[in-house]
């Protein structure tokens, strides 16, 4: 598994090198004994009777092997912890405990101080992770300043827009009042127009009746004209005769007026 760019599953190169070095040292510890070469002329018999003292001790070899193996295991724990980000170190605790348990089985002497040191370091890692987690939701000073600038700019833009909208609203309100006054004037004008329209309607009816009456009069006069046109015209002599007859009738009417009936 890869965490923070580090492979937590595959063994480290240091672990392989450490194991290889340990095996090489163990192999050399168990290699056949070597005796120093004897000067020429010394017989084989003398060589067999007086071998050079050996520096090889079995218990020392085993002790060195355990010490080197234990040290290699501890260095592997160190390397794994060093290559792991702080926030992922708590995940290593089960494996660390397993390796440390193996160290105790191999070399139990003097591990108390090492275990205390390891636990102290892991505790510091836990405290750091707790602090980092508690402040993870907070912002850095740079981000805070940037966001404050952005919010301040947004507030200024919003206030500018509000000012503009208020100006627009004031103009609209004034226009609304003006249109309301115009509407009232138009309503008054409309009432006047309606009243005038009613009067004109009445007058129109009267005129229509007058027109009908005049048309009847025109028709009557037209009949008279037609009658006159169809009547033959009289001559001057007839006119004079009629005038004479009229004068005679006037005289007769005067006589009729002055007539006294006597009983």
Query: 21 in a domain, yes or no?
Result: yes
Is the pLDDT reported for residue 249 higher than 50?
yes
DSSP summary character for residue 52: P
Could you give the number of structural domains in the chain?
Answer: 2
Same domain, 124 and 194: no
pLDDT reading at 129 higher than 70: yes
The alpha helices in the chain, defined as continuous H runs, are: 13-29, 44-49, 58-82, 93-106, 112-134, 141-230, 236-258
Largest CA distance in the chain: 236
Domain boundary among 135, 163, 198: 135
Q: Which domain holds residue 15?
A: 2-32+57-135
Instruction: Say yes or no: 120 and 181 in one domain.
Output: no
Q: Per-residue pLDDT tens for 201-235?
A: 898 898 888 899 988 888 988 888 888 778 777 78
Sorting pLDDT into bands at 50, 70 and 90, what band is 58? confident
The per-residue pLDDT of the chain, averaged, comes to 76
Position 168 scores a pLDDT of: 93
Residue 4 vs residues 85, 135, 249: alpha-carbon distances, Å: 6, 21, 152
pTM of the model: 0.35
pLDDT at residue number 52: 53
21 and 109, same domain (yes or no)? yes
222, 122: one domain: no
pLDDT in tens, 23-36: 343 334 333 333 33
Tell me, yes or no, whether 113 and 161 share the same domain. Answer: no
Residue 59 and residue 56: Cα distance in Å, rounded? 9
Residue 194 within any structural domain of the chain: yes
pLDDT at 1: 34
Same domain, 11 and 84: yes
Indicate if 217 and 131 belong to the same structural domain.
Answer: no
Any domain includes 45: no
On whether both 126 and 158 belong to a single domain, the answer is no
Q: 226-231 — which CB contacts under 8 Å span 24+ positions?
A: none
Q: Are residues 96 and 26 in the same domain?
A: yes
Q: Final residue of a domain: which of 107, 135, 163?
A: 135
Residue 28 falls inside a structural domain: yes
- How does residue 55 score in pLDDT terms, banded at 50, 70 and 90? low
Can you tell me the distance from the alpha carbon of 119 to that of 115, in angstroms, rounded to the nearest whole number?
6
Residues 129, 172: one domain? no
Any domain includes 142: no
Residues 160-211 pLDDT 10s: 999 999 999 999 999 999 999 999 999 988 999 999 888 888 988 988 888 9
Indicate whether 239 belongs to any domain: no
Contact 18, 76 (CB under 8 A): yes
Q: What is the pLDDT of residue 156?
A: 92
Residue 56 in contact with residue 33, Cβ under 8 Å? yes
Is the residue at 74 inside a domain? yes
12-17's contacts with Cβ under 8 Å and 24+ in sequence apart are 12/76, 12/79, 12/80, 12/83, 14/75, 14/76, 14/79, 15/72, 15/76, 15/79
pLDDT in tens, 99-109: 888 888 877 67
Q: Is residue 262 part of a domain?
A: no
Looking at the structure, tell me whether residues 99 and 22 fall in a common domain.
yes
- Do 12 and 128 belong to one domain? yes
Place of tokens 């890692």: 125
Pick 89 or 29 by higher pLDDT.
89
């Amino acid at each position: 598994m890869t965490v923070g760019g580090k492979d937590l599953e595959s063994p480290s190169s240091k672990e392989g090198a450490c194991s290889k070095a340990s095996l090489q040292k163990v192999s050399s510890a168990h290699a056949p004994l070597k005796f120093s070469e004897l000067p020429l002329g010394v017989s084989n018999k003398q060589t067999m009777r007086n071998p050079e003292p050996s520096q090889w001790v079995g218990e020392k070899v085993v002790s060195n092997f355990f010490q080197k193996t234990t040290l290699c295991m501890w260095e592997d724990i160190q390397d794994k912890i060093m290559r792991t980000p702080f926030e992922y170190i708590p995940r290593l605790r089960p494996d660390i405990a397993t390796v440390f348990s193996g160290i105790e089985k191999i070399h139990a002497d003097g591990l108390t101080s090492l275990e205390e040191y390891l636990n102290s370091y892991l505790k510091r890692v836990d405290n750091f992770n707790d602090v980092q987690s508690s402040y993870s939701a907070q912002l850095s000073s740079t981000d805070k300043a940037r966001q404050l600038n952005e919010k301040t700019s947004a507030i200024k833009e919003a206030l500018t827009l509000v000012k503009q909208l208020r100006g627009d609203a004031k103009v609209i309100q004034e226009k609304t009042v003006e249109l309301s006054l115009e509407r009232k004037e138009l309503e008054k004008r409309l009432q006047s127009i309606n009243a005038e329209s009613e009067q004109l309607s009445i007058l129109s009816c009267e005129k229509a009746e007058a027109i009908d009456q005049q048309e009847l009069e025109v028709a009557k006069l037209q009949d008279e004209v037609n009658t006159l046109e169809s009547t033959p015209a009289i001559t001057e002599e007839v006119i004079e005769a009629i005038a004479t007859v009229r004068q005679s009738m006037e005289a007769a009417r005067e006589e009729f007026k002055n007539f006294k009936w006597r009983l």
